[in-house]
Amino acid sequence: MPSPSSIQDLLRHQGHIGLVKGLRVGHFTDPRRPTGCTAVLCPEGAVGGVDVRGAAPGTRETDLLHPSNLVQQVHGIMLSGGSAWGLDAATGAVRWLEEQGVGLDIGVGRIPLVPAAVLFDVMMGDWLVRPDAAAGYAACRNASTDRAAEGSVGAGAGAVVGKVFGLDRAMKGGIGSASFTVDGVTVGAIIACNALGDVFNPFTAQLLAGTRAKDGLQLRGTRDALLDGEEPRPVLAGSNTTIGVVATDAQLSKVQAHRMAVVAHDGLARAINPVHTMSDGDSLFALGTGQSGKSLGMMTLCTLAAEAVAVATARAILLAHSVEVANQPRLPSACDMGVC
């Protein structure tokens, strides 16, 4: 399956993380303001890994994914808006999975293991509205193997990109998915992009969304503006983050899952600039369900992982739509700026 390269190729890409055997994906989007959460469930268990590159992460239960720690499998990953409050969405996933009889068997019952990561979207409308346990439960209830909606939904509902020079020059972010299959093994990714920096077509380096010119009518680009000496505005640490999951149905060890999460960040670096900043909490989880019964070898798996992350990041931007929130500047989408 060749990689997409043009904007239309990216938009037509048919792959998505739900094609990975053993996974189900569901969103909850809050109707009261732009925020939500996204559940990636593996009810039969999956080997997990994580790599956190941003300097201001918001995460839950990432330590258990370290290759040297005892637990070998997890049962889901929760991605959420709402900053630190949004971590509570994972509690809803734990409750839903327990009701399904899913979890680590401890004799008297089962404990579902659901690591989580959050992004900062509380400036988008009423900050007291944020994903909670009920939102996480609803996302799980909505989960299926079908292609999940992309753009301004779920964990990407309140995402914004290109904020180095302030919200009035930023653009709408979102959530996107992609996958590639080789020899019966699928590697997929789902990425919620709320980056401080700009987002590019990873194959042509075309600027898709990010910092706009001072008049707001055209793309400016953070890198070019900084190189020209424009002074960035002070940025609150943790107020930007790209979070996501890269998953495969190949057979993986915990060490291999960790390495896949590490290399998957190469996909972010191809699509986002600047990335992994002091104000971003960039975190990627890796899952290996093993349900294909095969392994392609780490060279191929890691190449597919980075590719899927890069395409999913671009799709998150291309499928987002503009948003207007009371008392805040309108945030246009990439398509509004004539990119699509």
Q: What is the CATH number of the domain that holds 130?
A: 3.60.70.12
Q: Are 173 and 161 in contact (CB under 8 A)?
A: yes
| Residue 180 located in a structural domain | yes
What residues form DSSP beta bridges with 266?
Answer: none
With 80 as the cut, is the pLDDT of residue 4 above it? no
Domain span holding position 109: 14-324
What's the pTM value of the predicted model, to 2 decimals?
0.96
| Residue 107 located in a structural domain | yes
With 80 as the cut, is the pLDDT of residue 102 above it? yes
Quick one: pLDDT at residue 153? 98
CA-based nearest residue to 96, from 81, 85, 110 = 110
| Residue 1 located in a structural domain | no
The mean-pLDDT minimum among 20-24, 134-138, 324-328 falls in 324-328
| Residue 161 located in a structural domain | yes
What is the distance between the alpha carbons of residues 298 and 260, in angstroms, rounded to a whole number? 8
| Residue 115 located in a structural domain | yes
Instruction: Count structural domains, the chain.
Output: 1
Quick one: pLDDT at residue 173? 97
| Residue 118 located in a structural domain | yes
| Residue 337 located in a structural domain | no
Mean pLDDT of 78-97: 97
| Residue 339 located in a structural domain | no
Q: Are 211 and 320 in contact (CB under 8 A)?
A: no
